[in-house]
Amino acid sequence: LKIAIIGTGNVGLVTGACFASKGHEVVCVDLDPERVSAINEARAPFYEVGLQALLEETVPDQLSATVDLETAVQGADVSIIAVGTPNTGSGIDLSQVETAALQIGKALRGRVDYQLVIVKSSVLPGVTDGRILPILENSSGRRAGEDLGVAMNPEFLREGQAVEDFLEPDRIVMGGSEERTWEIQERLFDGFGTPEIVRTTNATAETIKFASNALLATMISYSNEVGNVCSTVDGVDVTDVLRGVHLDKRLSPVLENGERVEPGFLSYLLAGCGFGGSCLPKDVRSFVDFGRERGVPMEMLRATLSVNAGQPERLVERIERRLGSLDGLSIAILGLSFKPGTSDIRETPSIPVARDLLGRGARLRVFDPVAQEAARAELGESGVYYSTGLSDAIDGVDAIVLMTSWPEFRELPRLLEEKRVTPLVFDGRRMLDRKSVAHYDGIGLGPQDERLDQLPDSTIDHEPIRKRV
């Protein structure tokens, strides 16, 4: 199929590159000419595992980029809207989606063939049929169900694993309103493994996306709340506690051969310094706003957000309790992106933690394998040294705060041993064995570290979940 994709952010560009790799002919459209040039030179404009290789494979034969939306849409069988849907603080901002719909509609005026327009951006229940469809109809002079199809196909990719998630989806939710809208989506996704296909209405498709993100965010805040209470109890470690919870066979089923399956889901049931990124925080906020407008206060989701908002400060306060005044101390922050595998720093907890530490008088040495430059734009230079690598970051510091679970940070115990130094290592992701460094502390550890030395060796596998399903 010939596809025009409007918006080349994490979702639009990954979608475009993956469709192109499956043989579709893709034109990606963006307002940003620099982004467009980068794509046409097969250079990924942001870091995402596997994206660069896909661009090298598909540009220019299967994939190209342009700022000319009209021509791209006119040459396509399917147009996909993948622009941003930020939350402004008082609700979801649909202006990018509405503008894209208006532009697509105008481009379709006078074209004779049927075209399917797919909304891939996350929009609240009712928006595709109630707001996007009328804009498309009015601006194109077409009628949905006759020479225009309007579908909602939410995206579930996780940044950092976006290419893998897109190429091997667990489910494809296909909203639509008439047979052709689903049929064309099935052609589009032909060859993407054998996922469950959910054929449904646009409003249900929209709701599935928000309900999914709300669940994931809630599991994280649940784990963090359990961690916060564990951190007040002597001799308790939240990682052991949650491991005990995971072993419930309803969460990690035991197969007939005795092998235990550890669903990827369990990685959301671990305590840490909070969720971030461009999706979970804003989608939960938007869902809460949506509920409030409809007279449903969404109390549980509001609590999910408030637990999350408190995590950075809790972490800094705990470090201060361990070290006393932070004024004049040198502290390394390891990890700036909101999760490993991506350079995205949107709503990353690392930024509020860094600002809070600076506010308490600490000097920072920060390091992230790919998100350093993005963070520099947020944090500036004052009091912050941007390190050249892990070893440089920890030179001469009083404390190290692990904020993102980049796999290379597992080298930390070895590096500290080599350097013969023993700063406090505060593990905001609980990724290191608590006995692997001399001075360890972390989210969800009981208050008295002497008691922790008496705890039996952890039976927890500190590697990421072993057997994902």
Ligand X SMILES: NC(=O)c1ccc[n+]([C@@H]2O[C@H](COP(=O)([O-])OP(=O)(O)OC[C@H]3O[C@@H](n4cnc5c(N)ncnc54)[C@H](O)[C@@H]3O)[C@@H](O)[C@H]2O)c1
User: Does 84 contact ligand X by CB under 6 A?
Assistant: yes
- Residue 429: CA count within 13 A, CB half-sphere: 28
User: Does 374 contact ligand X by CB under 6 A?
Assistant: no
The torsion angles phi and psi of 91, rounded to 5 degrees, stand at 150, 180
Give yes or no: 230 in active site: no
User: Does 64 contact ligand X by CB under 6 A?
Assistant: no
Tell me the number of residues near ligand X by CB under 6 A: 28
User: Does 72 contact ligand X by CB under 6 A?
Assistant: no
Q: Which of 3, 5, 7, 425 binds ligand X (CB under 6 A)?
A: 7
Distance between CA 130 and CA 321 in Å, rounded? 53
Q: Are 123 and 100 in contact (CB under 8 A)?
A: no
User: Does 239 contact ligand X by CB under 6 A?
Assistant: no
Residue with tokens 């671990």: 270
Smallest gap from Cβ 123 to ligand X, in A, equals 7
Nearer to ligand X by C-beta: 39 or 241? 39
Instruction: Using the Cα atoms of residue 228, residue 298, residue 339 and residue 250 in order, give the sign of their dihedral.
Output: positive
Stretch near ligand X under the rule CB under 6 A, chosen from 151-159, 238-246, 364-372, 443-451:
151-159
User: Does 15 contact ligand X by CB under 6 A?
Assistant: no
Residue whose C-beta lies closest to ligand X: 9
Stretch near ligand X under the rule CB under 6 A, chosen from 98-106, 268-276, 316-324, 428-436:
98-106
User: Does 337 contact ligand X by CB under 6 A?
Assistant: no
Binding to ligand X in span 274-303, by CB under 6 A: 278-279
User: Does 30 contact ligand X by CB under 6 A?
Assistant: yes
Nearer to ligand X by C-beta: 159 or 441? 159
Residue with tokens 């791209």: 72
Q: Which of 122, 128, 231, 387 binds ligand X (CB under 6 A)?
A: 122
Q: Classify 343 in phi/psi space as left (phi over 0), alpha (psi -120 to 50) or beta.
A: alpha
Q: For residue 60, is the peptide bond before it cis, meaning its omega torsion is within 30 degrees of 0?
A: yes
The torsion angles phi and psi of 200, rounded to 5 degrees, stand at -155, -175
User: Does 8 contact ligand X by CB under 6 A?
Assistant: yes
- Show Cβ contacts of residue 418 under 8 Å, excluding neighbours closer than 6 positions: none
Could you tell me which residues are beta bridge partners of residue 6?
29, 81
Smallest gap from Cβ 340 to ligand X, in A, equals 14
Distance between CA 400 and CA 334 in Å, rounded? 7
- Residue 337: CA count within 13 A, CB half-sphere: 19
Nearer to ligand X by C-beta: 239 or 342? 342
What does the block give as tokens for 379? 């944090």
Q: Which of 32, 178, 378, 453 binds ligand X (CB under 6 A)?
A: 32
Q: Which amino acid is at 117?
A: V
The torsion angles phi and psi of 123, rounded to 5 degrees, stand at -125, 150
Distance set, CA 334 to CA 19, 321, 391, 427 (Å): 35, 20, 11, 10
User: Does 159 contact ligand X by CB under 6 A?
Assistant: yes
User: Does 121 contact ligand X by CB under 6 A?
Assistant: yes
Cβ neighbours, 10 Å, residue 419: 13
Catalytic residue among 18, 28, 273, 279: 279
Stretch near ligand X under the rule CB under 6 A, chosen from 10-18, 137-145, 375-383, 456-464:
10-18
Question: How many residues make up the chain in this entry?
Answer: 469
Stretch near ligand X under the rule CB under 6 A, chosen from 2-10, 244-252, 305-313, 319-327:
2-10
User: Does 6 contact ligand X by CB under 6 A?
Assistant: yes
Smallest gap from Cβ 108 to ligand X, in A, equals 15
> So which residues are the catalytic ones?
279
Give residues in contact with ligand X (CB under 6 A).
Answer: 6-12, 29-32, 35, 69, 82-85, 96, 99-100, 103, 121-122, 155, 157, 159, 278-279
